[in-house]
Amino acid sequence: MEKFSKVTGVAAPLPMVNIDTDKIIPKQFLKTIERTGLGKGLFHELRTDADGKNTGEFVLDREPYTNAKVIIAGENFGCGSSREHAPWALQDFGIQVVISSSYADIFYNNSFKNGMLLIKLPPEQVDELMAVANDPENPELTVDLENQKINAPNGVVYDFDLDPFLKHCLLEGLDDIGQTLQKDEKIVDYEGGQRLQQPWLYKDAS
């Protein structure tokens, strides 16, 4: 997992509430365990007509939001099923940060485990950033994880809270496997001792 420090990029407004994981990435795109290629299915039902053709009307299909790195979303973003493909699809499109007033717990945790930053702000601050994102002339934000600040183009700075452990994992690029590998030396020592005391547990033991 790549380290996360600071992101500067276009913020796309998505003022819908209760956007569930099926809207983020519909079930027909869940046939792969690859993390790449899922961006084409992101918000598929909102981006296409009855024949499955892209209408070009959805915010992420309009300039300058086709290059969005941040989404400003309504409350309860990521509700529904626990599919890990949801953060994968967002990241494959290029989204690195989501800002909302609330999230579904499973989606929230899955996103951090995959290196995506989710920021919780009071509804009134989300509305202010939504207004910034709605200005296509200058919708760019800078999100500074280390200092826990969001810099808007109008000069307003927003502070955000984040669990220290989640912050540490993002800054160091640590997913669950990475956290385990930090204890690699202790694991090797333990297995070495166990191999001597209980050799029958190891197939290659003589």
How many Cβ atoms are within 10 Å of 3's Cβ, its own excluded? 12
Task: Show pLDDT as tens, one digit a residue, over the chain (206 residues).
Answer: 889 999 999 999 999 999 999 999 999 999 888 888 999 999 999 999 999 899 999 999 999 999 999 999 999 999 998 889 999 999 999 999 999 999 999 999 999 999 999 999 999 999 999 999 999 999 999 999 999 999 999 999 999 999 999 999 999 998 655 555 555 666 666 666 777 788 877 776 54
pLDDT at 179: 58
pTM of the model: 0.86
pLDDT at 184: 61
pLDDT at 1: 85
DSSP annotation of 83 reads -
The full DSSP string for 76-136 is SBTBS---THHHHHHHHHT--EEEES-B-HHHHHHHHHTT-EEEE--HHHHHHHHHHHT-T
pLDDT at 81: 86
Distance of CA 83 to the CA centre of its chain: 13
pLDDT at 107: 96
pLDDT at 22: 95
pLDDT at 194: 75
DSSP annotation of 77 reads B
pLDDT at 75: 98
Distance CA 206, CA 31 (A): 43
pLDDT at 178: 54
Checking DSSP bridges between strand 117-120 and strand 97-100, what pairing results, if any?
Answer: parallel
pLDDT at 88: 97
